[in-house]
Amino acid sequence: MPVVLGSDRLLASGRLDGLTVGVVANPASVNGELQHIVDRAALQPRVRLGAVFGPQHGFRAGAQDNMIETAHGADEVRRLPVYSLYSETREPTAAMLAGLDALVVDLQDVGARVYTFAYTMANCLRAGRTHGVKVIVCDRPNPIGGTAVEGPVLEPGLESFVGQFPIPMRHGLTIGELARLFNDHFGIGADLEVVRMTGWRRPMHWDRTRLPWVMPSPNMPTPDTAEVYPGSVLFEGTTLSEGRGTTRPFELLGMPGIVPERFAAALNAMRLGGVFFRPVEFEPTFQKHAGARCGGCQVHVTDREAFHPVEAAVAVMSEFHRQGPFVFGWRMPPYEYEHEKMPIDILAGSGALRSQIEAGLDGPCIATTWTDAVEAFMPVRGRYLIY
């Protein structure tokens, strides 16, 4: 059975007839025929488009860096205002929502707590509640499946734009399920409707959906990237390269001064499930270590069901710290609108990971420390599952 997206079901239902709507979208907001939701909504004879909103990287995802704000503008083809929700505001304002009956959110999440699109959605729910605008979330697949849950749970005091709620790093939810969890359990309280998909099953990874992959952000080029991202994104909180500036971001991990063969051999000796660490050298063309030769590994997923991306990435980080203690370092603030909290702490959701790496603990040992919090989260998560 093919996967039918929430956006297809919404537009076919006539539920928007007679309404003036805003759409929160970016280039990945397409259906199986690569038709964009804004174009499809514009063809609805009884629907009026009032505004378009873009998340981080912009409506057209043209901003490369993950901390470059995008400006408000206009869509010259569709003759609509385009509001940036990664600008001086990350929540729609009263002026932006003026005249709208509903705000339709159609964003492709990638299954990791720190991916900011989920918090753009949460901020839309808050704005909808405040200004009396209904929010309709069009559900989309979790590209790394909806069964596995892993990683540290965000602790109080470390909330940020890369983590607003106490959920694990790999949450195993769709964006529609996240909307229900945020709105109900975490008390946002908006007038929310989630339009479900049909044909998607929890064990399905992206390649089983038969849907085309369009980059949801500039450094998420393939579904393979999404598979490793819930762990490798932690490297943004270090001075090591997470592969930005290469064609394989988040799969290539490295830093100057590392001998690749020795490094990868140490990792493979751990025999972590579902992964092979291939020795590599690479030169990022931009961002950290641009133009410098970095030694490290490429993370190759050999068995998705056995692979634990957070544990694997923490094992890699720990090995970098062991083999290169004099060049390994933690990134300093600011990071994602936080000017005091350490980036690694808000990414991990806890200060514990930084201390554990510095103490020389290995990945499997560190992974045992988040088990209890994940288990406590599972009954809460279960109340909001749709599929």
Question: What is the per-residue pLDDT across 186-203, written as a single tens digit (0 to 9) for each?
Answer: 999 999 999 999 999 999
Name the token pair of 211.
């849907």
CA separation for the pair 77, 143 (Å, rounded) = 31
CA separation for the pair 276, 121 (Å, rounded) = 35
User: Which helix (DSSP H) or strand (DSSP E) does residue 225 occupy?
Assistant: helix 223-232
Q: What structural domains does the chain harbor?
A: 6-212 (3.40.50.12170), 223-370 (3.90.1150.140)
Q: How far is CA 175 from CA 23, 38, 156, 274, 340, in A?
A: 16, 19, 23, 26, 29
Crossing angle for the helix pair 260-268 and 309-323, nearest 10 degrees? 130
DSSP E strands, the chain: 20-24, 48-54, 73-75, 80-84, 102-105, 134-138, 150-153, 168-170, 192-195, 252-255, 275-282, 294-301
CA separation for the pair 83, 296 (Å, rounded) = 40
- What pLDDT digit, counting tens, does each position of 226-237 carry? 999 999 999 999
Terminal alpha carbon distance of the chain: 14
Q: How far is CA 169 from CA 128, 129, 154, 258, 322, in A?
A: 27, 27, 8, 28, 24
Is the model's pLDDT at 98 over the cut of 80? Answer: yes
Q: How far is CA 92 from CA 101, 127, 173, 177, 265, in A?
A: 14, 6, 24, 22, 49
Confidence of residue 261 (pLDDT cuts 50, 70, 90): very high
- What pLDDT digit, counting tens, does each position of 30-88 carry? 999 999 999 999 999 999 999 999 999 999 987 776 678 999 998 888 889 999 999 99
Of 63, 70, 9, the C-alpha closest to 37 is 9
3-state secondary structure of 131: helix
Q: What average pLDDT does the segment 166-191 reach?
A: 98
- Indicate the residue type of 243: G
CA separation for the pair 92, 51 (Å, rounded) = 11
